[in-house]
Amino acid sequence: MIDVFSHFVPPAVLARFLELKPGLPALSAFGGLPELWDIDARLRSLAPFPGVQQILNFGNPPVETFGTPVVAAELARLANEEMAKLCARYPDRFPAFTAVLPMSDLELAMAELEYAHAELGARGIQIYTNVLGAPVSGPLYRPIFQQMAQRDLPVLVHPFRTAAVADYATELDSPDEVWFTFGWPYETSAFAARMVYSGIFNELPDIKIVLHHFGGMIPSFGARIELGFQQIFTGPGGPNPVAVRAGITTPVVEHYRRFYADTALNGSKSAVRAGYDFFGPDRSVFGTDAPFCQDGGPTFVAETLAAIDALDLPAADRQQVLEGNARSLFRLPIAETAGQPTEILRSA
């Protein structure tokens, strides 16, 4: 089994973060979650799951939020080199990592993309739903997606917003963790919509983009996606004007189904079912969001596996979700023990 969306912040990077922003609340909280930055604690959290491997992805906040593009590039390089070392040291647990890019400067981001893949062996990149509040769907960042399509490696997308993004125009911030609970799924959904209407799948039909948290709001709003607001007033059978302007000639909702999405939904069986029903066996991938739960990961792993178990999938589809799709996405070698995931899952 391959968890495509687990997070790690190497201690050297965390130390540098603390130097740059010593009062940042998120960094103070990290101290209570050693599985995020202490590799020994991380390995202990995985001990109950001998058949689980994790793709290492960086955590929040994005490196560009810590200073100038040069500082962001320094942090990205440090993170990538440290994660590469962990993958080399523990290949049975961490078969690959996704690269961090300093997205506040395209030239630096492209240089780090090349270095991380050519020199460190990265098997994809992780970006965020925005860059310092700006969308990534426009022409500025297209070279990154073009490069990843050419390399046939995935772009993993993590939501990001803070309490500074207000829920209402009359307010200055988002209280009561609304920015996190609902803001992050919205960020993911808005990212996907902007990418779809930018024509990404027309331009790069083979691009592999993986959405976190099973695509946020998307699975619950498939019918609403298909019937656009302007389309309501065009009469029965009328086209979606927004889709027409974007050059989308097939049903819009089918473009959303071209994303991949992971199962990281805190173990919610109903939510995992909705996500799977939308994305299907060929685009759903096992992901847990470890170690971001109160026990540092084991609960999320166990409950996510239980949610997948509750889908009662045919063996071939189950294998695709738990491992096969990940191996294809990250171009990992085929496991020698193809039957192992089901056996381990049943006993977990």
Q: What domains, with CATH codes, occur in the chain? A: 98-347 (3.20.20.140)
Whether residue 126 contacts residue 99, with contact meaning beta carbons closer than 8 Å, is answered with: yes
Q: Which stretch of DSSP H or E encloses residue 309?
A: helix 298-310
pLDDT in tens, 30-66: 888 999 999 999 999 999 999 999 999 999 999 999 9
What pLDDT is attached to residue 335?
64
Peptide bond into 185 cis (omega under 30): no
Cα pseudo-dihedral 189, 192, 198, 202, rounded to 10? -150
Q: Which two tokens stand for residue 138?
A: 């426009």
3-state secondary structure of 119: coil
pLDDT at residue number 28: 79
Q: Which residue has the tokens 């808005």?
A: 190
pLDDT tens digit at each of 348 positions of the chain? 999 999 999 999 999 999 999 988 888 788 889 999 999 999 999 999 999 999 999 999 999 999 999 999 999 999 999 999 999 999 999 999 999 999 999 999 999 999 999 999 999 999 999 999 999 999 999 999 999 999 999 999 999 999 999 999 999 999 999 999 999 999 999 999 999 999 999 999 999 999 999 999 999 999 999 888 888 888 788 888 899 989 999 999 999 999 999 999 999 999 999 999 999 999 999 999 999 988 888 999 999 999 999 999 999 999 999 999 999 999 998 864 433 433 333 333
Count of residues for the chain? 348
- CA dist 137 and 199 (Å) reads 9
Which residues touch 343 (CB under 8 Å, ≥6 apart)?
51
pTM recorded for the entire structure: 0.94
**Rounded CA separation 260/195 (Å):** 13
Which sign does the torsion angle of CA 298, 346, 308, 306 carry?
Answer: negative
Residue 294 is predicted with a pLDDT of 86
